[in-house]
Each structure stands twice: as structure tokens, then as C-alpha cells.
Amino acid sequence: MQTPLIEFRKVSKRFDGKPVLDRVDLSVYPGQVTTLIGKSGVGKSVTLKLIIGLLDPDSGQILFEGRDIGRMSRKERRQMRERFNFMFQHNALFDSMTVFENIALPLQEKTRLNKRDIEERVRSKLESLDLLGIEFKYPSQISGGMQKRVALARALISDPQVVLFDEPTTGLDPMRKNSVLSMITHNQRNFGFTAILVSHDVPDVLYISNRVAIIEQNRIIYEGSPHGLEQSQQSVVKEFIYSLEALKKDICGLPDRSELEKAYMKAVHAWHTAGTFGVLVFRIKDYRAIEEEIGEFGAFEVLNTLAERLRSYVGSWNYIYGRYDQNTIVCLLPGLENKEACEPVLWRLAEDLQAQTVFQPNQYTTYCYEFSVVAGCIIGSDSMQLDELVQAAQPELKTLVRLSCAQTTNRGSYA
Amino acid sequence: MPMTWNGSPFSEASLGFLQIPAWLGRNAIQLIKELGAVFLFFLRGLVLIFQYPFQIRKIIQQIYFIGVKSIFVILLVGIFTGMVLGLQGYYTLVKFGSEGVLGGMVALSIIRELGPVLTAIMIIGRAGSAMAAEIGIMRISEQIDALVTMDISPIRYLFSPRIVASVVSFPLLTALFDVIGIIGGYLSGVLLLGVNSGIYVSRMEGLVGMNDIVGGFYKALGFGLIVVTICCYQGFYVHTRREGFGAKGVSLATTSAVVISSVCVLITDYVMTSFLL
């Protein structure tokens, strides 16, 4: 197995008695991009500062190429540090120096290159990062995105072997964020340096990472590949990966499948004494195709509209509902004795949905993609699991509403 | 870490006069630690001046900032100090019929005391406060950490050139102050109040010795080292202040730099004078 370039062994760090890192183990392998993710204030930046020696650990060992940094002589530490560079969260550009002087500083101070060579190298770096034309401006005269790129240029100018990036994309617009992440990837591929990133940009940052470590409650709760991260069953880990889904869930107000199952199990006993209950199943057909054809936001709007309208019609019931899977919503209504009793709900809902803008073909002026929402109703029994109820409802699914690009009508079977 | 008083001897937790010696002791230890830290900071800066490659460009920039840019204020303060001395000296000496020694009195006062002290205080106000603020802002905006990560010694980069610049600028500015002060005394004494110009100059020549000039030079040198060390130290360790962080910390560091270096200049002046006389 490959030997780690940097290794944390039971490293602890406290500030004013408050633990920030508690017996942390971490391995960083050469030539890889390792990303540290975690909530704000969990010690990600502290980890980077410990690596570069801006802070010392209270206990434990930090090894560089198998050697304990704490036991290195001052000369060895300096030699080690020469191989590192650091890109700060807030850039830490020298505000009294021009962009050119900022980037040239490590070369002027740490190499014996002549003025012409330094100028050439800085110009080439400016060019590769699309910064030409601002070299004689001061950091305060350029935008935040440009400042980030200047900081990146300064971090890479001395061709370091290890580059530490402390939240390189914080405060950038999505386009600039992507551009910075792509710059890091390209430069890492070109120069082969080892990159350690601290970032909140999940899941974007996972695409450029070889290894991921999640810090939570002063410890590393996951360390491994981004692929392994997806497989993880830990709730905190899932929370990070599905942070975007969590946002969607919050906006829709739809509980997820596990929450739906929990609510069903809790309620089914109470409903057993009250009588039977209706199971309404809604499915957006070809959801992934909708995402691809009319876009992610368009598909989300369809889901959100369906959830919102459903909520408004069943609001008076003591109902349970949630997202069974990506494109299926399940709603359980107590007190229904036969499936005909839930038909009026579906009819009214169908009529309402037909009037919604997401089902109007004239809303899709550039590109239209035909899709439909199907729905069905069965009467549930408390002896059945939620999965069985959904399966049982499959034959009952009929078109509730559809978007037809060519026709003027969008009425389905419930109209 | 810049020093702060450790609580009060009369605080709730420390009632009674028996606590006073403990409080004094705590703060005395803190003061000694602080002095040691300042001295080590100075020594490191001093040693790093001689590390190759020499920072000639940065030294020249600092001489320009500390020295050249202070010339105007030194000229202004120097001329009026000399004129006031001439005026006050004349009316005091004339009571004893010895207005002839006015030139000597003005020159000695300025060369021995007023020149070095007022020059130092003027530079503290103009450049010392700026040094503390600039380095303090660099500290809180992680620029000093950035230097460390680039393996550039921040003490060498920020402090060492300022030591050299102060060693060069303080004596030169003091000399300028002395000359302008003497001219100011001449203006008020000779041109306005009618003291004989020949007597003014000859008495000055007769009374001022080389040791006075050398003494003033030593003082300027000492003040320069004290001012630059205290001002840079206050800025450099702004992040360790307990009373305030960020912008407030920088403002407190700047105030401390000005107050502490002014007081130290006056204390050192007394000590050096007692040795030089």
C-alpha cells in the first residue's frame, strides 16, 4: 500500500481549553487531491494550519514522509516548508503590493532568479489564470473572484509539491467557483502536486477529489474515496452528500422515505382502531428525462407544484405524506373505506394541476418535453408494509395530468 | 504578548490588603516576561539584518518612509522650538545681563535634550503609529501567516529593515532638528530681539563640545531602536491582546505603541543623560 505523504496520528488541538481536534487520524497520499469537509468551526482550517506549522498540536504526531514534524530540526522544518504553499480562505494578499508584486514575492524572496526570469514566470502564471491586464492593480481594486485567482497564482508560482487550499471557492459565484475548482484540478494534473482542500462545496468538490475526510465533533468520521462516501450509511455522512437534496426537501416540505416510513409505522396503530385508510400514490413519469430535457429546476418545479397542490387538498385530514422515491409521492389518508372515496380528491387535484404553469405548453418556448403525472388510490390495511402498499397501488395508476407540447389540452384520465 | 494588568487588587475575588503584594508580584512577573519577549524580538530582528540576501531596497523604502517623509514635520517643530527657546532664554538671561550666552544655551538645550527627544516623539507620532497599525493589519488579515507559509521570516521581512532605517533616520533627523532649532533661536534672539550675532555664534561655539554632539547622537540612536522595537512589537503581536481583536486590537496596539514608546523615550533620556553628564 502507498505510504502517506502526510499522516496525523492521534492529533489533538485545543483553544482556551475547548477541543477543536480530538485524537484525529488522517492520511494524505502523494499526488492526490484530499478534501476535508465539515460544518463551520469543526477544525478544518486548524488541520491545514497544523500541517504547515502555523499551529502546533497539543498532543499526537504529524508525520511528513514518515518523519515526525515535531522532532524535526529548524533547518529540516524550513526545508519541508519550502515544498509547501498555502492558499488562505480570505486570500491574505499583501494589500500594499500590486498583483504582480504579490505573485512575484515568493520568487523574489526565496529564489535566485533574475528580474527577467521572475517577470516571465509571473506573466505566464497570470496568463494561465486569465489575469493579464490587472498586474499593476492593487488587491482592493479587483473583484473577489480575481483576488482568489491571484491568491491561487501566488500559491502555485513556486511550483510547490504540496498545496493547501483553505476554502478556495468561498464567496464566489457558481461560474467562478467552477472555474477555480477546474483550475485546481488542471494545475494539479499538470504539475502533479499533492492538494489538500478545505471546502463546503459539496458535492462539487467531490468530483475533483481522490480522497475525502469528513470532520465532525472534533473527529474524522469518514476517510476514503468519494465513491465510498456515497455508500456510507452514517447519517452525518449522508447529510453532507445529500445537502442539496435536503434543500429541495425543505423547499417542498416533503419528508423523505425514512421519515415517511417512521410516520407510517407510528400512525398505523392509531388508524387501526379508527378504521381503514386510503393510500394515494403519485408518480412523475420519466423524472430523470425531464431533468435532462427541460432542466433540473424545471423538474423540481413539477415536483414542488405537485406537493404544494396535494398539501392544499388534503390539509384538512390528519394525513401522512412524503417522498417515497425520487419521483413518487405517497399520501395516506385515514378514514376512507373504499377507493371511490378518494376519487374526488384526485379529480379536483387533476383540475387544479392542469391550470398550473408547469403544465402549460406555452411556458416552454425554447424546448418542450412531454411528460405526465400518474396517480392511483387503494385502501390500505395495517398489516401491510409501506412498500407493499405502493406495489399494490401500481395497477391503479392513471394519468392525472400531462404536458402535451403539440396539443392544447393537458387533461388526463381524471378530467 | 503585549502586557495588560492582571485584574485589580481590589476585585471581588481578591478582597483584603494581603492581596496587593500578590497582585503586584503577578504584574511584576508579567512585566519582566514582557520585557524579555520585547528584547528577544529585538535581538531576532537585529540578527536577521545580516542574513543574506540583504534587503537593500526595503531598507531604502523604510528610510524614505521614516526619514524623508518626516523632514517637513521636523523642520517645522525644530524652527519653532528654537524660536521659543530664543525668546524665553533671552527674557530670562537679560535679567542677569547675560543675554550674550543665548546662543550657547539654545544650542546646548537642543543638542543635548530637545533635539533627540522631540525628534523621537515626532517620529513616534508620524511613523511609529503607522508601523504598529500596518503590521497589526497585516497580522489580523493573515498576511504575516502568508509570509510564514512562503517560508519568509516575517521578522526579517517586516522588522529588520525598519531597524536599519531607524538607526539611519533618527540621528540624521535629530541633526537636522538641531541645526534648524539653532537657526530658530538665532531668528528670535538675533533678528527679533537684537542679540549680537557674532556673540550668539561664538558663545555657541565655545559652549558646545564634541561630547554634547556625540551624546545627542547616542540618544537619537537609542531612541530609534526603542521606538522601532516597541512599535513593531505592538503590531506584530496584536492577535495576542486580551482586550480586543480585529480592528479594535489594531487601534489599541497603535495607541499602546505611541504611549509606551513616548514614555520609554523620556525614561531612557533621563537614564542616558545621567550617564552622559
Q: In this predicted structure, what is the pLDDT of residue B7?
A: 55
Do B148 and A53 lie within an 8 Å CB cutoff? yes
Q: In this predicted structure, what is the pLDDT of residue B2?
A: 59
Provide, as residue numbers in chain B, all residues whose Cβ is less than 8 Å from the Cβ of A49: 145
Q: In this predicted structure, what is the pLDDT of residue A236?
A: 67
Q: Are B253 and B233 in contact (CB under 8 A)?
A: no
Q: Lowest-confidence range among A148-162, B3-17, B88-102, B231-245?
A: B3-17
Mean pLDDT, residues B1-14: 54
Q: In this predicted structure, what is the pLDDT of residue A405?
A: 80
Provide, as residue numbers in chain A, all residues whose Cβ is less than 8 Å from the Cβ of B44: none
The burial class, CB within 10 Å (0-12 / 13-18 / 19+), for B77 is: buried
Q: What is the DSSP string of A365-401?
A: SS----EEEEEEEEEE-TTS-HHHHHHHHGGG-EEEE
Q: In this predicted structure, what is the pLDDT of residue A361?
A: 79
Mean pLDDT, residues B89-93: 92
Q: In this predicted structure, what is the pLDDT of residue A332?
A: 86
ipTM of the complex: 0.78
| C-alpha cell read off for A177 | 467557483
Check whether A75 has a pLDDT greater than 70. Answer: yes
Check whether B12 has a pLDDT greater than 70. Answer: no
Paired residues of A373 in beta bridges: A284, A401
Q: Lowest-confidence range among A123-132, A155-164, A311-320, B170-179?
A: A311-320
Check whether A415 has a pLDDT greater than 70. Answer: no
- Cα→Cα distances B54→B65, B131, B157, B165, B238, Å: 19, 21, 10, 13, 27
Mean pLDDT, residues A122-147: 88
Residue type, A363: Q
Check whether B224 has a pLDDT greater than 70. Answer: yes
Check whether A311 has a pLDDT greater than 70. Answer: yes
Do B145 and A90 lie within an 8 Å CB cutoff? no
Residues in chain A, how many?
Answer: 415
Q: In a mutagenesis test of the A interface, which of B51, B143, B150, B240 is the best target, namely the one with the most A β-carbons within 10 Å?
A: B150
pLDDT tens string A249-271: 666 677 877 788 888 888 776 66
Q: Are A403 and A410 in contact (CB under 8 A)?
A: yes
Residue extents of the structural domains in chain B: 51-238+245-276
Tell which residue, A399, A274, A382, A380, has the closest CA to residue A331: A380
Residue type, B10: F
DSSP code for A411: B
Q: In this predicted structure, what is the pLDDT of residue A177?
A: 80
Tell which residue, A58, A113, A106, has the closest CA to residue A81: A106
Check whether B5 has a pLDDT greater than 60. Answer: no
Q: In a mutagenesis test of the A interface, which of B61, B139, B149, B152 is the best target, namely the one with the most A β-carbons within 10 Å?
A: B149
Do A53 and B150 lie within an 8 Å CB cutoff? no
Binned at pLDDT 50, 70 and 90, residue A410 comes out as low
Q: What is the DSSP string of B36-65?
A: HHHHHHHHHHHHHHTSSSP-HHHHHHHIII
Contacts of B180 (CB under 8 A, 6+ apart): B74, B75, B78, B79, B82
Question: Does any CB of chain B come closer than 8 Å to the CB of residue A76?
Answer: no
Provide, as residue numbers in chain B, all residues whose Cβ is less than 8 Å from the Cβ of A81: 149, 151
Q: Order across the sheet with A194-198: list the strands.
A: A84-87, A162-166, A194-198, A33-38, A211-216, A219-224
Q: In this predicted structure, what is the pLDDT of residue A77?
A: 85
Binned at pLDDT 50, 70 and 90, residue B19 comes out as confident
Q: Are A32 and A224 in contact (CB under 8 A)?
A: no
Binned at pLDDT 50, 70 and 90, residue B54 comes out as confident
Q: Identify the residue with better confidence: A41 or B38.
A: B38
Could you give the CA distance from residue B86 to residue B7 in angstroms, rounded to a whole number? Answer: 48
Contacts of A71 (CB under 8 A, 6+ apart): none
3-class secondary-structure state, position A173: coil
Q: Lowest-confidence range among A4-18, A233-247, A318-332, B205-219?
A: A233-247
Q: Lowest-confidence range among A41-55, A180-194, A250-264, B32-46?
A: A250-264
Q: In this predicted structure, what is the pLDDT of residue B6?
A: 55
Residue numbers of A between 138 and 167 with CB closer than 8 Å to B: 158, 164
- Tell me how close the Cα of B97 comes to any Cα of chain A, in angstroms: 58
Do A54 and B141 lie within an 8 Å CB cutoff? no
Mean pLDDT, residues A81-98: 90
Provide, as residue numbers in chain B, all residues whose Cβ is less than 8 Å from the Cβ of A170: none
Percent of chain B with pLDDT over 90: 71
pLDDT tens string A152-203: 899 989 888 999 999 888 777 777 788 788 888 888 888 788 999 998 777 7
Question: Does any CB of chain A come closer than 8 Å to the CB of residue B240?
Answer: no
Check whether A370 has a pLDDT greater than 70. Answer: yes
Could you give the CA distance from residue A196 to residue A193 in angstroms, rounded to a whole number? Answer: 10
| C-alpha cell read off for A239 | 447529510
Q: Are A259 and A250 in contact (CB under 8 A)?
A: no
Q: Order across the sheet with A6-15: list the strands.
A: A18-28, A6-15, A59-64, A67-68
Tell which residue, A140, A148, A187, has the closest CA to residue A33: A187
Residue with cell 513593531: B232
For chain A, the 3-state helix, strand and coil shares in percent, each to the nearest 5, are 45, 25, 30
Q: In a mutagenesis test of the B interface, which of A55, A88, A97 is the best target, namely the one with the most B β-carbons within 10 Å?
A: A88
Q: Are B142 and A90 in contact (CB under 8 A)?
A: yes
Could you give the CA distance from residue A46 to residue A63 in angstroms, rounded to a whole number? Answer: 16
* Mean pLDDT score across all residues of chain A: 83
Check whether B159 has a pLDDT greater than 90. Answer: yes
Mean pLDDT, residues A364-374: 82
| C-alpha cell read off for A345 | 380528491
Q: What is the pTM of this model?
A: 0.72
Taking phi over 0 as left and psi of -120 to 50 as alpha, with beta for the rest, A91 belongs to left
In a 13 Å sphere around the CA of B110, the CA atoms on its Cβ side amount to 33
3-class secondary-structure state, position A331: strand
Tell which residue, A392, A283, A389, A282, has the closest CA to residue A346: A282
Check whether B72 has a pLDDT greater than 90. Answer: yes
Mean pLDDT, residues B75-81: 95
Q: What is the DSSP string of A184-221?
A: HHHHHHHH--EEEEE---TTGGGGG-SEEEEEETTEEE
Question: Does any CB of chain A come closer than 8 Å to the CB of residue B55?
Answer: no
Provide, as residue numbers in chain B, all residues whose Cβ is less than 8 Å from the Cβ of A115: none
Percent of chain B with pLDDT over 70: 94
Binned at pLDDT 50, 70 and 90, residue B225 comes out as very high
Nearest residue, CB atoms, A110 vs list B137, B148, B151: B151
Q: In this predicted structure, what is the pLDDT of residue A316?
A: 67
Q: In this predicted structure, what is the pLDDT of residue B175?
A: 95
Angle at which helix A115-128 crosses helix A99-110, to 10 degrees, equals 130
Strand intervals (E) in A65-142: 67-68, 84-87
Backbone angles phi, psi at A88, to 5 degrees: -80, 155
Question: Does any CB of chain A come closer than 8 Å to the CB of residue B148?
Answer: yes
Binned at pLDDT 50, 70 and 90, residue B73 comes out as very high
Binned at pLDDT 50, 70 and 90, residue B49 comes out as very high
Mean pLDDT, residues A40-64: 89
Residue type, A212: V
Q: In this predicted structure, what is the pLDDT of residue B174?
A: 96
Question: Domains in chain A, start-ordered, CATH in brackets?
Answer: 6-245 (3.40.50.300), 252-403 (3.30.70.270)
Q: In this predicted structure, what is the pLDDT of residue A267?
A: 79
Per-residue burial over B98-117, b if 16 or more Cβ lie within 10 Å, else e, is ebebbbbbbbbbbbbebbbb
Containing A324, the helix (H) or strand (E) segment is strand A320-325
Q: Are B196 and B100 in contact (CB under 8 A)?
A: yes
Check whether A273 has a pLDDT greater than 70. Answer: no
* Mean pLDDT score across all residues of chain B: 90
Question: Does any CB of chain A come closer than 8 Å to the CB of residue B152?
Answer: yes
Q: In this predicted structure, what is the pLDDT of residue B22?
A: 86
Containing A109, the helix (H) or strand (E) segment is helix A99-110
Binned at pLDDT 50, 70 and 90, residue B257 comes out as very high
Containing A22, the helix (H) or strand (E) segment is strand A18-28
